[in-house]
Structure 1
């Protein structure tokens, strides 16, 4: 009987079709993700044009991440009483306009400011969009729904980021900003046409903000946040400086940078698709596998950074291993913060981007210290080892909570 129930649940997960609104939000994330990560392939061009060092140009990535960290909870709380579709439309509009300003920015300071503003809008879209996506699917399909949003990031890595690098090399880095503005308009049309006016559980009822804030009293919420932040720090400590590593350490021509970014993106898309399906049934097992594999790949990259034959395939494997964890890390935060349907998405966004802030900054410190680009891989591996420890602590806590009948209302996933 138990075997039959498990089989039935698995068949139900396989048959369930995600609503079009979830796919549209994932499409919007593609535009956001292209902007967030495209600077990784444009740092040399931006640095040369604005007369700053590459580590200083790398701070534009951290600036975006800081805006995401601050913007996610603030905008999620500030827009809690607003219609969610209207909120998504306004945020995408601000995001698009900020890229138009960035495309014509004459100074580093103004470009820096536009990155912060666009990050605030991006954070709000992520937080509200994730809440809408989760509210439109049953609990046993949350990781799949969140995987679609992360899939938007993966496709951005496959098409958007390499495309931005190509535009930067042939038409200048500003052309990439114009392209993101155009993508944002397309996403805006999709949201207007397909996202429902409410998209909230319970027919439009909202949990009061003061009630949602109580989830931050729980240790398991902060442990999930810390694990996610460490994961992101480890991944982007290395990825943010992949382009200069390829040209300065590996000795590859600039034309190879978009190709390697595509390989990373293909790996990320595969990892997201696999992780989204596995995490709904085996959350912690998926996290263990992805974090351990990503740690090993970063260590290998550090050891073989001067060998193109090793670096190219390892970049693809890093995307696969790292993004295998993404859906599960998101889903875990929604589990432990189930009492805060609005702030759960903001918490996940802030956690990821705390790591996205720390990672590029830490990588820049290593580079400025004269240790070289390869050491960003070693440092990233240390961050991921710490994240693996966090996942283990969460698994122990989840078992204890399940024994006591409380793990965010969700059965423990092995």
Structure 2
């Protein structure tokens, strides 16, 4: 894999830390800003909505921009949004900064996904995606637990400041390592016009894999966003165990995305056939065994692995199915991921109000996976390598 791909992953690490870090900070933010835990959890949805809107919008705007300048600008705007978020005492302002940060993240990821696939041969898109998204999984291993620990020892604002600072070496990596234009455009004519690229969204196979990716990611975010109350409530563990649970989820997700990167190009159907049922059983099992700390921690690891193996494979299929949209394919993948990231916490917040209480999000995740499998079952051919 080329070095610029790993430099992109560094920036994704910084942004992934921000996207996932609220899983360990929701209770503190709610207490400090005087809102409910469910309302604080909607900050995750605000971020995801910004990603959904921003991915296609900014990818379309950035079609004619120099790639390096686009990526650098997105990283710096992302950092500035976290500075403002760390300084505010208003939940409304914090909510707005999450949307702005999400727009910057969306623009970056949409351009980065497209650029990453141009840095490798056409049949290695899954491997390139795995390297790029390893920044996200490493964020769940190191960045998010560190942020949770920092929030526990100091406060949630310290974590926002840390993310803002973390963006600076990522910006330097983009500036020093990414070519001004993607390799595919050097010395060649422009690709298809925007209308032709948007027309790819009429393809049933593309819409199918986007929908499946969104459902699986919704299940992941539904439970991950509200994992802290499960650890400290149902399992009866102390607050310092929340970073431990997040590390385990992150290690599992790194293993899952690595597995997906190795096999998803050739055997996507196998990963769906194995990973889907594991997730379907795993989320309800986590709800049933949440009061057993050892079982809880083991299942958190396994669910992280299965979620990212399956989710990563489905997003790789989005890039394959959108191959005729060279500048917009990354935005389609980003939008699919974040439709799920927006929907999951909303569903989970509603589930918190049921009799299941803090375990409601885990049951909701199981239902979301069930929906994905029921849709995928009659459409198995669309999930095969092409």
TM-score class, shorter-chain normalisation, is over 0.9
- Aligned-partner Cα distance in 1 for 2:305–2:61: 36
Q: Which has the greater radius of gyration?
A: 1
2:278 matched to 1:293?
A: yes
Rounded to whole Å, the distance in 2 between the matches of 1:281 and 1:35 is: 32
Q: How is 1:164-175 mapped onto 2 (pairs within 5 angstroms)?
A: 164-175=147-158
Aligned residue number for residue 245 of structure 1 = 230
Q: Is the 8 A contact 1:228 1:355 kept in 2?
A: yes
User: 2:209 touches 2:383 (CA, 8 Å); kept in 1?
Assistant: no
Three-state SS of the structure 2 residue aligned to 1:311 is helix
Using a 3 Å threshold, how does the CA distance of structure 1 residues 118 and 137 change in structure 2: closer, same or farther? same
Q: Does 1:373 align with 2:358?
A: yes
Cα RMSD after superposing both structures: 1.3
Is 1:32 aligned to residue 15 of structure 2? yes
Provide the C-alpha distance between the structure 2 equivalents of 1:319 and 1:344, rounded to a whole number of angstroms. 26
Give distance in 2, aligned partners of 1:110 and 1:244: 25
**Which residue of 209, 230, 239 corresponds with 1:224?**
209
Q: Take 1:342 and 1:24, find their aligned partners in 2: how far apart are those partners?
A: 20
- Match of 2:357, SS state, is coil
Map 1:8-407 onto structure 2 (within 5 A). Answer: 18-203=1-186, 204=188, 205-397=190-382
Distance 2:41 2:81 in 1: 19
CA contact (8 A) 1:225 1:351 kept: yes
Give CA deviations for 1:88-111 in whole Å, capped at 9, x if unaligned: 011011000000001101110110
**Alpha-carbon shift at residue 19 of structure 1 (Å):** 0.8
Deviations 1:151-187 (A, max 9, x none): 1111000001100101101111001011101111110
Give yes or no for contact 2:216–2:311 (8 Å, CA) kept in 1: no
Change (3 A) 1:341 1:389: farther
Structure 2: which 5+ residue stretches go unaligned?
A: none
| Off by >3 Å, runs of 4+ in structure 1 | 389-394
Q: Is the 8 A contact 2:210 2:315 kept in 1?
A: no
The whole-number CA distance in structure 2 between the counterparts of 1:243 and 1:197 is 42
Contact 1:150 1:326 in 2 (8 A): no
* TM-score after normalising by structure 1: 0.90
Distance 1:290 1:315, change over 3 A: same
Alpha-carbon separation, structure 1, partners of 2:343 and 2:266:
31
Deviations 1:326-355 (A, max 9, x none): 331121111111111121110111111001
Given the two structures, how large is their TM-score scaled by the length of structure 2? 0.97
Structure 1 residue runs of 5 or longer lacking an equivalent are 1-17, 400-410
Distance 1:131 1:394 in 2: 26
